[in-house]
């Protein structure tokens, strides 16, 4: 079988005898479970199917490594980064299960993830269509996220109703716990601690923040002000001018996780700040030990979203020998396929 990464590293020429695995047709009578279907994808060839099968195998290795140390962050760090939009869909349960089972023990995401996770814990989002009239939707206080309809009553209104009282509790408890006043009370209180405190107070068993708090899994949100929760934080600070989020405290956690950990792996879904935070910190330990990246972005525009994992090697953010695969496709399709296999082993 051809190992293209090894060939590139060793400057090897093509050996025709390496192409020794024939393309096989699917036997759908045996593809009765996701595992058997993805197994057949590895043999069927055909572009993204083969990539998905390889990605599944890399993720299984990550899971086995984490299970072997019971999710001990000091030994194996499995990073998971993703955009908020997926939490507006049923794909949220992939991330919930990933944290609940401790397969992934540190997350990097955006403020919108908190928005959708909290909102959907109390209210419903609804099926819509990409082609709906957005002007008319706006007139009815209905917001469209792709083909998902988000009523304002299920988003901004409910978020404010449940988050503001929780912030007041967090504020009062923090002052008591630290015995300090003013800005000094908030030193060390970053987005990671905010997520845990919200998860403890307003998280529900189907929510990401609940399981992050329950399992004490860090959820880093570098752009914590960029969303509805960020707006709540801003408005809360109008009442309590000493309140703030210590974003550099999050960076300290990221630093502590990467410098001394024995093994560091990552599943990154989409690009942007969430992905970059993962690869950025891992460069300080010589790069990721393995990685899977899911994206719909093209490479030709130079964006981080479009950058394939091989580019990270040149920055020292992924080790040259690291098993890795990037899979082009819609994560709302790919993650449920992967999850139904990986989480049932």
Active site residues: 317
Q: Which residue has the tokens 């089972």?
A: 101
Query: Hey, what's the torsion of the CAs at 43, 64, 79, 317, to 10 degrees?
Result: -70
Quick check: helix, strand or coil at residue 340? helix
Question: HSE-up of 42 (CA within 13 Å, CB side)?
Answer: 12
CA angle (288 as vertex; 256, 187 as ends), nearest 5: 25
Contact 79, 104 (CB under 8 A): yes
Q: Which phi and psi (to 5°) does residue 9 adopt?
A: -65, -35
Phi/psi zone of residue 198: left (φ > 0), alpha (ψ -120 to 50 degrees), beta? alpha
Q: What are phi and psi of 218, to 5 degrees?
A: -65, 130
- For the chain, counts of helices (H) and of strands (E): 14, 9
Both tokens assigned to 250: 């999050």
Residue where the block lists tokens 């093509």 = 14
């Amino acid at each position: 079988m051809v190992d293209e990464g090894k060939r590139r590293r060793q400057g090897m020429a093509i050996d025709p005898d390496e192409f020794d695995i024939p393309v096989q047709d699917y036997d759908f009578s045996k593809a009765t479970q996701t595992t058997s279907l993805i197994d057949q994808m590895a043999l069927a060839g055909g572009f993204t199917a083969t990539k998905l099968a390889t990605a599944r195998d890399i993720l299984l290795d990550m899971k086995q490594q984490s299970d072997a140390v019971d999710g001990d962050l000091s030994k194996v760090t499995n990073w998971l980064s993703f955009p908020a939009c997926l939490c507006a869909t049923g794909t949220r349960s992939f991330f919930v299960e990933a944290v609940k089972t401790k397969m992934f023990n540190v997350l990097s995401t955006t403020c919108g993830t908190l928005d959708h996770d909290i909102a959907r814990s109390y209210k419903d989002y609804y099926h819509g269509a990409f082609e709906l009239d957005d002007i008319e939707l706006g007139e009815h206080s209905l917001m469209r996220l792709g083909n998902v309809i988000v009523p304002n009553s299920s988003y901004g209104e409910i978020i404010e109703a449940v988050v503001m009282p929780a912030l007041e509790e967090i504020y009062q408890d923090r002052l008591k716990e630290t015995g300090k006043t003013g800005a000094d009370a908030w030193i060390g209180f970053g987005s990671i601690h905010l997520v845990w405190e919200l998860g403890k107070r307003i998280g529900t068993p189907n929510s990401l923040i609940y399981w992050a708090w329950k399992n004490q899994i860090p959820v880093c949100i570098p752009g914590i002000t960029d969303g509805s929760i960020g707006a709540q934080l801003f408005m809360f600070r109008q009442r309590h001018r000493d309140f703030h989020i210590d974003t550099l405290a999050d960076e300290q956690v990221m630093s502590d996780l990467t410098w001394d950990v024995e093994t560091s792996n990552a599943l990154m879904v989409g690009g942007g700040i969430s992905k970059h935070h993962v690869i950025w910190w891992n460069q300080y330990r010589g790069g990721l030990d393995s990685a899977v990246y899911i994206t719909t972005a093209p490479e030709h525009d130079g964006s981080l979203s479009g950058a394939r994992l091989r580019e990270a090697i040149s920055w020292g953010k992924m080790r040259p020998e690291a098993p890795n695969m990037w899979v082009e496709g819609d994560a709302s399709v790919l993650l449920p396929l992967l999850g139904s296999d990986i989480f049932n082993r």
